[in-house]
Structure 1
Amino acid sequence: MPRISDTLQTSISVEEVRKDFTLRHTHSIKETFLAAVRRRPLASTFRAIDDVSFQIAEGESVALLGLNGSGKSTMLKLISGVLQPDQGRVLTRGRVAGLIEVGAGFHPDLSGRENIFLNAAILGMTKKEIEQRYDDIVAFSEIERFIDTEVKHYSSGMFLRLAFSVAIHTEVDVLLIDEILSVGDEPFQQKCLARIRELHAQGKTLVVVSHDLDMVAKICDRGILMRDGRAVFDGASSDAVAMMRS
């Protein structure tokens, strides 16, 4: 992922970005053969992001809003580096961590303790950083009794608690959050929100994708509204939420 080097106050720069996906219309060799014989298209192109540009300053909290299929999650993955644009470029400053697929790097046959070290390393933390934060990660997850149990024996709630706790304790400059605040029960969700607010107060840059408009209005100052792959509004989060609700 390229890094911004010329504008100290810019954390994320999205410049005339376009992203296309190929949609396949057949699911088997037989269907492919029949489609070819009948001269039907085997695939088509879907433009998920269409000429989008914006900048996010260091320390800003920004929500990407829009209906399903509007392109907001694709944009978040482009910022994280999981996807690359077909046109334009995305520049970021500092260490970026994406809470996009929480626990994606967990191994079911390893214990919670072992998975903390594995997943935190995948998220870019050094062994020393992990050791320094280990106790905080375990305490935040609230599953101390089961930390040396293989995670394949965890309930889904326990798994998500530990995965989120690892991600939220990563040393980052930019934190990307995609619909993961549904983890656990309400008290745990409130603790997660408090931790995110803490990180923002420390000057971290936040980019949030969520359908929870009330939560977005509380933690984000700015909202970018996506529609059919385009950014149709960029302004105060309260105004973006009002547009969504209308």
Structure 2
Amino acid sequence: MEKLQNKVALVTGASRGIGAAIAKRFAREGASVALTYQTSKDKAEQVAQEIRQLGGKAIALRADGADPQAVISAVDKTVQEFGGLHILVNNAGIAFYHDISQLTLEDFDHMMAVNVRAVFAASQAAIKYLGDGGRIINIGSCQAERMPDPGGSLYAMSKSALVGLTKGMARDLGSRGITVNVIHPGPIDTDMNPASGPTSAYQRSLMALSDFGTANDIAALATYLAGPESAYMTGSGLTIDGGTNS
């Protein structure tokens, strides 16, 4: 049976990479899917069209993660389009690496706005609609647990903040039957971090499995967290990094 039959999901930052893989996997499991994008409208519409061609329901919504009102509006539009909301995946995020001495307050504010504040805003908007069995899934990073590279202080901080936010929301929402978990991907072969990129050899040297993961690996874990088998799991961080942090 399709694990997400008759469910409605919103996946942020789903025009490509991990977000797109999650949106497609959810649709294959029976969910109606709304996906957001910031600038890549054509790519987002292509993902939605692929879902519709397979018989699913999908819409693409523009929402800049730096604008909390746009994120909140995306939640409301999802409900207006599909009549409800059962699953929120906070995937949209940014990453940039600079030595701490070179970073600015504007860099700090932007990183936290997109990687943390947007998650808070979307989740707070979503809980008005989520009922018993609702799911919030945040996409973090294995670098929340270990930062092996110079220049990653802000990124690591923002993803570490998601851990605290996830645990706090899990406590707040547990009595309502809503679970909240965070996935920590490691090196995943995407446009942003290709397996053939200039740092790929270094990244492989950190792994136990010596190869990059795929966006579908993350989508499979997200589907588990969105489905009935994970009903007793909340406040958890699940690392899927090929042993990078082992």
Regarding TM over 0.5, the answer is no
Higher helix proportion: 2
TM-score, normalised by the number of residues in structure 2? 0.30
**Which has the larger strand fraction?**
1
Higher relative contact order, chain-length normalized (CA < 8 Å, sep 6+)? 1
What TM-score does the superposition give when structure 1 sets the normalisation length?
A: 0.30
Find the structure with the greater CA-based Rg.
1
